[in-house]
Amino acid sequence: MAFDLIVIGGGPAGYLAAERAGHAGLNTLLIEKRFIGGVCLNEGCVPSKALLYSAKLYDGAAHGDKYGISVKDISLDHKFVVERKNKVVNTLVSGIKAKLKKNKVTVVMAEAKITGRNEEGFTVTANGETYVGKKLIISTGSVPVTPPIPGVKEGLESGFVVTNREILDWETVPEKLVIIGGGVIGLEMASYFNSAGAKVTVIEMMNKIAGPTDAEISDILMKNYEKKGITFNLGCKVVGVENGKVLYEKDGKTLEVPADKVLLSIGRRAFTDGLGLETIGVETERGKIKVDDHCRTNIAGVYASGDVNGTSMLAHTAYRETEVALNDILGIKDMMRYDAIPSVIYTNPEVACVGENEETAKAKGIDFEVVKLSMMYSGRYVAENEGGNGIIKVLIDKKYRNVIGIHMIGNNSSEIIYGGVTYIETKMPIDNIKKLVFPHPSVCEIIREAIFEF
């Protein structure tokens, strides 16, 4: 069967590519081996947020006395939370399938393999059938990194060690949970399972949590977590996983922490295993598909969007990369830019950032100025966050007087940060931002307060 476009992978990059291509009138085939929606919708972004929202409501009720509310006999029903999570996922997956059907996309649920090319286009086999596409978008996503730590492989096989895939379906909460890795996934799961009653320990190789997040903000987040009872072992290297414990090195000493379950969360890698890229000569670099700023590979007519190109492993980046790739296919002028990609940690409190931080700005030689304000400058934040210690940092380029970075910790940050995306993407001068009218009272006013400090 011949198609105008074959999309391999049904995650955010893939299903959006297929949906938009079908809407544009292209005869489109989408091939997905596991489930429509990919990791983000089924095992990552969305299901984790369902869990975290339940935890947030529970935490609010548990500490309602701060706001004059007394709740007796409060509990978190983890099994019910997981059931609700599944309902949310099923609802959203059904919606995506409906959109694909509406836009006349052919969907094949099978593992795809590129087998070559002929005069009609690129050949792809799936479920014993051969398909031909004039154009090809590869969006096979990523998989968790599995380090060569003694005992990890055996732990994964026995279920003592899990990844983000399995942890979201646990029906019971372990008494002692050890998380290897203090990045976004690890921190979000630490947040939820701490609220659900587990004794959580996070072991991180770096001397800070939250990866590239602004150092001061990640320190505030960690202190908030510590107050809730989460233990952090920073600057530590995990050297072994045994039944019932995790071994790690710190300052030349080997230590151990007891565990009923272990979450492996040290990052993800682009997934191209067995895809057949070599049959058409697609170039890769350390497992990632190399692309230009139009998401084109080195082979004309072949594109790669989402985690598989390893540029920015975030679902919203994947959406935008897919739009750029499809626009190139449709002859619409467009290109990918990464200066204003927002990042969010959906913990309680939330962390959100976009653009340069002080470390990266210095490394690039940018002459910048930074303003830091307490979130207490926002009336609504004060009204809704008793004892909150959130902050905002805004960086501007001294020469051009435009925003180059915004970093926040405090609830509602995830819904506010898009404003920073707009300022950076459009290079809006701060004098123009000062003329914008923000709703009052709102937490987003904190950006305006910070801008007026320049």
Q: What are the residues whose beta carbons fall under 8 Å from the beta carbon of 292, sequence distance 6 or more?
A: none
From the list 82, 96, 81, the residue with the least C-alpha distance to 40 is: 96
State how far the Cα of 427 lies from the Cα of 401, in Å rounded to an integer.
9
The C-alpha atoms of residue 421 and residue 208 are separated, in whole angstroms, by 25
Beta bridge partners of residue 234, listed in sequence order: 204
- Across 76-229, the runs of DSSP E, i.e. the strands, are 106-109, 112-118, 121-126, 129-138, 142-144, 161-162, 176-180, 199-204
Place of tokens 């191209």: 272
Is 260:158 a contact under the CB 8 Å cutoff? no
Beta bridge partners of 179: 202, 263
Closest CA to 4 of 278, 340, 330: 330
User: Which residue in 63, 78, 316, 440 is the catalytic one?
Assistant: 440
Q: Which of 271, 263, 266, 262 is nearest to 34 (CA)?
A: 271
Neighbours of 157 (CB within 10 A): 9
**Active site includes 440?**
yes
d(CA 297, CA 68): 59
Pick from 115, 118, 26: which is nearest to 329 by CA?
A: 26
Which residues carry out catalysis?
440
